[in-house]
Structure formats: C-alpha cells, structure tokens
C-alpha cells in the first residue's frame, strides 16, 4: 500500500461514519473546507515536517525551517483560493535541541513570514521527543462561501497554468545532498562537483556577494565565479526557504479565475495526476512551455542535472497549478506579487491520461514525483 492508497482508504472509512453537512470538502484536497455561519467558509490544513525525512537540522539555520514550516501550509491554503488568517504550530524536539537556540531561531523565521501575510499564531503544543525533531504546522483561512477552488472541478477544454518556475527546489535538494550548507548569512559550504561528502567550504569571512571568493577544495584553494555561487545559493534557498503563492491564491479564488487548483508539492507530474484523477479528466502539456526555473537552467550544464526532468518531477516548488475555463483566460493577471503564470497545456477528456508534446512527438507522462513510503526521483 502506498501513501495515496492509504489516504483513499481513510477517505472511504470516513464515508461510512458520522457525516456533517458543514464539512464541504473532507479528505482528498489541499485543505478541508467547513461552512461557517454567514457567507464564509473555513479552510484548514496541516503539514508534518519530520527530521531526517523532510529536513536535516545541520543543513541550515532553524530560522529557514521556521519559514518553511509555515510556507508549506500557506501554500495549501493558497491552493484552495483562500486567504490565510491564523495558525497553530506543534513541535516535538529532543532535549539537546531544546537546550540550544533552535526554538528561538525557528520562531524568528516563522514569525517573519507570518507577519508578512498578517497570519496570527494562536496556539500549538510542545513536547520532548526522543531522537528527532518533528513539526506540525496548521494554517486556517477563509473564502466566500462556495468559492473554495477544489482539485476535482477541472473540465475538458480548460487551460492549464502554473505560477513561477519549476525544478528549483529539487535542484537545491541535490546541491544539499552534494554538500551545500547554509549559514545565517549565506552559503557556508559548496556542493562537491562529483563524490558525496567531499564538499568545499566557503572560507571564513569570504563575501558571496563580492567578486570570486576563494573556496577550499580538499587542500587546494579553488576559484569559483560569483555568479555560480549566487545560483547555487538561490537554488538551495528554493529548497530550504520556499515562497508560498499567497497573493496568486487569493486572486484566483476571489476573482473566480481558477476552475481547479493544487499546489506543486510532490512534483508537476504527480500533482497534475492528482488533479486529473479527482476531476476525472486527462491533460496534454506542451514541453516547451514548462517554466523551468532560470537558475536551474544556468547550473545544469555544469552540474549534469536534467532541467526538464527536475521541472516535471521535482517536488517542493510550492507553485500553484491551476486550470482556467477558456473564456476566463484573458481575465488572468499577467503577474501577482511580481510572479508570472505560464500557460502549459490543456485538460482533455481522456480520464487519467497525462501526455506531453515535444514538437510532433507526444508521450505519456508518468507520475514520478515524491511519495512517502516509496522511492523518490
Ligand atoms: P498536501 O500535499 O496538499 O499537503 P497530502 O498529500 O499531505 O496533501 O494529503 C492529501 C489529502 O489526504 C489531504 O486532503 C489530507 O488532509 C489527507 N490526509 C493525509 N493524511 C491524512 C491522515 N493521516 N488522516 C486524514 N487525512 C489525511
Ligand atoms: Mg497541497
């Protein structure tokens, strides 16, 4: 049984139990939708971040983790076309983590992002954990009643869009696996070009934003171009400190622009698969329109990464993948908060079939994004 079979089974189990007419959307979407009195619906989501699976404590300051813990849940609220309002966060941590400055740094990052969107932290829980740190992030928001944008309402002929760029977070993860590390002021260690574990350390005091800082590679010092350092840092931050498309979510929901929506957390191929399955439709993507993260394109030649594969299957970009009825396409804003949306394909009536066209060639796009309890890409 995989993660998604388990969730489907849970969903079936809830169908034979007590029902409430106030639960408008239960298990299966990015967030749950609950009707309120008046003309609003509540939208609420929870996300678990587990040390060793979703993050490593030694790769970056805890402030970035605090930011990410909130961002992943803000992204699910945005994927419902909702406005985030409040949050809860629960943390389990081993005694030695409690004793250092982890919690202070975590909340510095968490509050900075919460303040940006006026989200109010209104509760949570703290517990001692035995080995690993675990974080549960909950965010609540609201929409006008009946306006939540679901995964299940795309129709054949709808046009498919995605915000921002794809593949950056997955490239960042590869760079971290190759040894890249972030400190409070920037990169402290660079990815090794080949073997794991032979990362290069940025020399103490060297300024990334200066010109060609010197880094140590093994025993010999090596020059690295500032532009490459900036690219590496940007990609590592795409993984460790993602932006949630909060503004886009609100616009797409309030202006009734999106007919269906999901956020790209597992990877485009997998998340488009979830949307299509739940809407009982298929999709045809245009390969040349997939917005590959600009930094990924810059780095790929030098680091043997496949940019299109990263953009199609890489997870954690937290962009919004949405569909638009053909008549509404001209109403879409060009940018929201400086971020564009790209028109990448069309919904088809071939249920569950996702295809991608490259020139005259068309092939099936298998979901190869992230899945818990299975091998990832
Ligand atoms: P996302 O990636 O958008 O956060 P998930 O893949 O984590 O979504 O979850 C998909 C759906 O399954 C969501 O609607 C979520 O609420 C539901 N779900 C996941 N785990 C559980 C669980 N343990 N109990 C009930 N519902 C769950
Ligand atoms: Mg989601």
The Å distance, Cα 45 to ligand 2 centre, comes to: 9
Nearest to 165 by CA among 311, 359, 13: 311
Q: For a pocket test of ligand 1, which of 4, 13, 27 has the largest count of ligand atoms closer than 8 A to its C-beta?
A: 27
Q: Which residue lies with its CA nearest to atom 26 of ligand 1? A: 27
Nearest to 275 by CA among 142, 158, 364, 165: 158
What is the CATH number assigned to the segment(s) 159-166+242-364?
A: 3.90.650.10
The neighbour count for residue 100, using CB atoms within 10 Å, is 12
pLDDT at 369: 82
As for ligand 1, residues whose beta carbon falls within 6 Å of it are: 7, 10, 27-30, 47, 76, 265
Atom number of ligand 1 nearest to Cα 45? 16
Question: Which residue ranges make up each domain of the chain?
Answer: 3-144, 159-166+242-364, 173-240
Burial of 145 (0-12, 13-18, 19+ CB in 10 A): middle
pLDDT at 177: 93
Q: Which residue lies with its CA nearest to atom 13 of ligand 1? A: 28
CA angle 169, 174, 179 (to 5 degrees): 120
Instruction: Please state, in angstroms and rounded to a whole number, the distance separating the CA atoms of residues 303 and 321.
Output: 28
Which ranges in the chain belong to alpha helices (H)?
3-15, 62-78, 95-99, 102-116, 168-177, 226-240, 246-254, 268-279, 294-303, 307-313
Q: What is the pLDDT of residues 102-139, one digit of tens each?
A: 999 999 999 999 999 999 999 999 999 999 999 999 99
pLDDT at 214: 45
Query: Is 366 in a helix, a strand, or coil?
Result: coil
Which of 79-92 are b and which e, b meaning 16 or more Cβ less than 10 Å from the residue's Cβ? bbbbbbbbbbbbbb
Domain formed by 3-144, architecture: 2-Layer Sandwich (3.30)
The Å distance, Cα 278 to ligand 1 centre, comes to: 14
Q: What is the pLDDT of residues 65-108, one digit of tens each?
A: 999 999 999 999 999 999 999 999 999 999 999 999 999 999 99
Contacts (Cβ under 8 Å, ≥6 apart) of 240: 59, 60, 64, 65, 68, 172, 176, 182
CA atoms within 13 A on the CB side of 243: 18
Q: Pull the structure tokens for residue 312.
A: 């199609």
| pLDDT in single tens digits along all 377 residues of the chain | 888 899 999 999 999 999 999 999 999 999 999 999 889 999 999 999 999 999 999 999 999 999 999 999 999 999 999 999 999 999 999 999 999 999 999 999 999 999 999 999 999 999 999 999 999 999 999 999 999 999 999 999 999 999 999 999 999 999 999 999 999 999 999 998 754 444 455 544 443 333 334 444 443 445 578 888 999 999 999 999 999 999 999 999 999 999 999 999 999 999 999 999 999 999 999 999 999 999 999 887 665 678 999 999 999 999 999 999 999 999 999 999 999 999 999 999 999 999 999 999 999 999 888 777 775 44
Q: Pull the structure tokens for residue 192.
A: 């090794």
pLDDT at 373: 73
24 and 148 Cβ atoms separated by less than 8 Å: yes
Q: Extract long-range pairs of 215-218: CB within 8 Å, 24+ residues apart.
A: 215/190
pLDDT at 209: 34
pLDDT at 375: 52
Nearest to 351 by CA among 155, 149, 158, 161: 155
The Å distance, Cα 99 to ligand 1 centre, comes to: 32
DSSP H/E element including 233: helix 226-240
Query: Is 184 in a helix, a strand, or coil?
Result: coil
Q: Pull the structure tokens for residue 23.
A: 């639960």
200 and 217 Cβ atoms separated by less than 8 Å: yes
The Å distance, Cα 30 to ligand 2 centre, comes to: 4
Q: Which residue lies with its CA nearest to atom 7 of ligand 1? A: 47
């Amino acid at each position: 049984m995989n993660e998604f079979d388990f969730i489907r089974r849970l969903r079936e189990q809830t169908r034979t139990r007590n029902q409430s007419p106030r639960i408008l959307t239960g298990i299966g979407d990015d967030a749950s939708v609950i009707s309120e009195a008046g003309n609003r619906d509540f939208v609420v989501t929870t996300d678990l971040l587990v040390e060793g699976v979703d993050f490593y404590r030694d790769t970056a300051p805890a402030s970035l983790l605090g930011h990410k813990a909130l961002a992943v849940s803000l992204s699910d609220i945005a994927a419902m076309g909702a406005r985030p309002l409040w949050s809860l966060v629960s943390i389990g941590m081993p005694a030695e983590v409690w004793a250092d400055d982890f919690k202070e740094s975590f909340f510095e990052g968490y509050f900075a992002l919460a303040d940006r969107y006026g989200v109010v932290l209104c509760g949570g829980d703290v517990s001692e954990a035995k080995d690993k740190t675990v974080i549960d992030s909950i965010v609540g928001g609201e929409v006008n009643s009946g306006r939540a944008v679901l995964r299940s309402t795309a129709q054949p002929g709808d046009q498919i869009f995605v915000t921002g760029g794809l593949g950056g977070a997955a490239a960042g993860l590869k760079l971290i696996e190759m040894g890249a590390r972030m400190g409070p002021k920037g990169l402290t260690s660079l990815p090794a070009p080949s073997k794991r574990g032979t990362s290069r350390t940025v020399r103490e005091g060297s300024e990334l934003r200066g010109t060609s800082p010197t880094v140590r590679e093994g025993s010999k010092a090596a020059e690295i171009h500032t532009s490459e350092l900036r690219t590496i840092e940007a990609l590592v931050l795409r993984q460790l400190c993602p932006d949630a498309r909060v503004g886009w979510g609100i616009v797409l929901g309030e202006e009734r622009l999106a007919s269906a929506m999901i956020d790209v957390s597992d990877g485009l191929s997998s998340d488009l698969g979830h949307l299509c399955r739940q809407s009982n439709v298929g999709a045809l993507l245009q390969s040349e329109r997939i917005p590959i993260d600009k930094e990924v394109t810059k780095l790929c030649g030098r680091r043997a990464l496949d940019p299109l594969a990263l953009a199609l299957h890489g997870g954690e970009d937290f962009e919004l993948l949405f569909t638009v009825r053909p008549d509404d396409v001209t109403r879409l804003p060009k940018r929201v908060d400086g971020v564009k949306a790209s028109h990448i394909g069309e919904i088809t009536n071939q249920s569950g079939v996702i295809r991608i066209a490259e020139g005259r060639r068309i092939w099936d796009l298998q979901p190869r994004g992230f899945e818990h309890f299975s091998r990832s890409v």
